Amino acid sequence: MRRVVSVYLPHWSTDRLRQKTRPSPPEGAAPLPLVTAIPDHGRRVIAAVDQAARKLGVAPGMTLTKARAFAGPLEVIEADPDADLEGLRRLALWAGQRYSPCVAPDPPHGLWLDITGCASLFDTERALLKDLHRRLAAFGLSVQLAAADTAGCAHAVARHVPAGRPVTIEAGDHRKAIALLPVAALRLEPDTVEGLRKLGFERIEQLIGTPRGPLAKRFGRQLHRRLDQALGFVPEPIEPVFPEQRPRARRAFLEPIATAEAFAQVIGDLVADVVAQLGKMAKGARRLDCYFHRVDGHIQAIRVGTAAPSRDPKHLAKLVAAKIDTIDPGLGIEAMTLVTPLIETLAARQSAGLDSLQTDPRGKAPDLAALVDALANRFGQRRLYRTSPYPSAMPERAIEAGPALGEPKGRAWDGDLPRPCRMLNPPEPVDVTAMLPDHPPAMFIWRRRRFKVTQADGPERLHGEWWRPAGHESDQPFAVRDYYQVETDSGARYWLFRLGDGENPATGPMRWFLHGAFA
């Protein structure tokens, strides 16, 4: 099911200007309402207003003289539609890097996002919308969001349902969502809206059940085209915006294709073209977006990433082709486009040498980046990482996760203080049934099993991190842990610690925990 987000920025022009360096008002004085103006036959007409000016009754289309007559002093800046459009394009490119490969400007004050299949990156669609709304608001933008099955429904709801928060129209409810909205929500010309109002059409539900012939004869085909787009009867494609000066390739077909084999063949050709462009730029691809243009106007996309810059055509083609099964060709694909939105410098290097001959008897260096890319694109980037030491007194926080092929940070674990290969977080309590004073337990019960200790080494005393808030009961700020490495009669080796000494009231009663197991 297709899902489209409409981003409405009601004060885009003035919000964009607010972000520029402008002289601040005197201390204690409120900033003047901001408007933009354009010349019109010897007079100046309001083009855009900010929220403060709108509250005073100033609206686009009003002459500047009339606005000043009843609104008082205004800060006036010349309108720059080209700069506004370029700003929307840059904002779309930013959103395309984070939320969806299919993002396009919706001039003069909006964006389109086709988030079909992208919600899983944020766990849920609501989480995606919430993150997008929060980040746009942090930019200082007034924003309203709506997500629906159709672009027309999302556009109408974002602009005509004041909510102050993202609005989600559940799948299949787009008709009910737009039924009570005004006919102006269908993106019709003002003359058409006024003509419909004179005929008694105020809401969209009135148009849905009315015979189309008389209305089409009077208002043209655009009226019912917009209505059908909102209802999902007519496709409304979103042409994604691409970064400038990024390697890309496109193939258009005389006849639509629909098989996985054909897709794989075209992907190989597109990757070869892109790799040739990357070679001339001395760059490598870190991300690839492959767009599938269906004959019904819908656009689907595959996005893959690499752990390190790459120009290996076989490797890149394999990554993209691995996700072909996520594409629904419908009635066929009429064109395919491959874009590299993220590239990095990749200098030429020798493919084989003495070092590689030593690492592999066959004379070929192991391609770890290819393995990382294949696993990450199959299971997700967040599930593949490398661990490195982290400075912390508590063992469960002495490890941090980083990129799978990230550079080491120069820290190392203390070889004199071995740590288990498997750590339990949080540590699990155990029942000690036999113990001598200031000695490790002779027997303990963990997960309903009894373990007899034959050998032990310790203690290693660790103190709690007083600067951190208390978390698990064994991680109190003033807790003292005495760690023991114990070996049971079965040969298994465990890492136990004693919390508290039973004498200091600040540490509480003495308790035992199991923190890990050695290999």
Instruction: Say what angle helices 368-379 and 313-321 make with each other, to 10 degrees.
Output: 10
pLDDT the model gives residue 2: 86
Both tokens assigned to 185: 């929500």
CATH topology of domain 4-8+83-231: Alpha-Beta Plaits (3.30.70)
| Residue 384: predicted pLDDT | 79
Counting residues of the chain whose pLDDT is more than 90, the rounded percentage is 44
What integer is the mean pLDDT of 282-288?
Answer: 91
Least confident residue range of 334-348, 370-384, 465-479, 503-517: 465-479
User: Would you say residue 495 has pLDDT above 60?
Assistant: yes
Mean pLDDT throughout 190-216?
92
Q: In what order do the strands lie in the sheet with 43-49?
A: 43-49, 34-40, 75-78
pLDDT of 72 higher than 80: yes
C-alpha to C-alpha distance for 359 and 405, rounded to whole angstroms: 18
Give dist(CA 444, CA 448) in Å, integer: 10
Q: CB burial class (10 A; 0-12, 13-18, 19+) of residue 11?
A: buried
Beta strands 167-168; 449-463: pairing state? unpaired
The Cα–Cα gap between 46 and 229 comes to 32
| 24-37 average pLDDT score | 75
426-480 pLDDT per residue, tens? 889 998 876 666 778 888 999 888 999 998 888 888 876 666 655 544 455 446 7
Q: Could you give the CA distance from residue 364 to residue 361 in angstroms, rounded to a whole number?
A: 8
The model carries a pTM of 0.66
pLDDT of residue 320: 93
Fold of 248-345: Dna Ligase; domain 1 (3.30.1490)
Helices (H), 77-124: 81-98
Q: How far is CA 384 from the centre of its chain?
A: 18
- Cis link prior to 107 (omega < 30° from 0)? no
Report residue 225's pLDDT band, with 50, 70 and 90 as the boundaries. very high
Q: What is the DSSP string of 442-502?
A: EEEEETTEEEEEEEEEEEEEEE--TTSPP-STT--TT-EEEEEEEEETTS-EEEEEEE--S
The residue among 320 and 29 whose pLDDT is bigger is: 320
The answer on pLDDT for 358 being more than 50 is: no
Ramachandran quadrant class, 254 (left: phi over 0; alpha: psi -120 to 50; beta: rest): alpha
The model's confidence at residue 352, banded by pLDDT at 50, 70 and 90, is very low
Length of the chain as a residue count: 519
DSSP structure class, residue 26: P
The confidence score (pLDDT) of residue 364 equals 53
Contacts of 321-328 with CB under 8 Å at 24 or more apart are 321/263, 321/264, 321/267, 321/268, 322/374, 322/377, 322/378, 323/377, 324/260, 324/263, 324/264, 324/267, 325/260, 326/117, 326/300, 326/302, 327/263, 327/292, 327/300, 327/302, 328/300
Residue spans of the domains in the chain: they are: 4-8+83-231, 248-345, 422-517
Q: What percent of the chain has pLDDT over 70?
A: 87
- The pLDDT of residue 255 is 93
Q: How far apart are CA 381 and CA 488, in angstroms?
A: 39
Range name among 332-341, 437-446, 496-505 with the lowest pLDDT average: 496-505
What mean pLDDT do residues 75-95 have?
A: 92
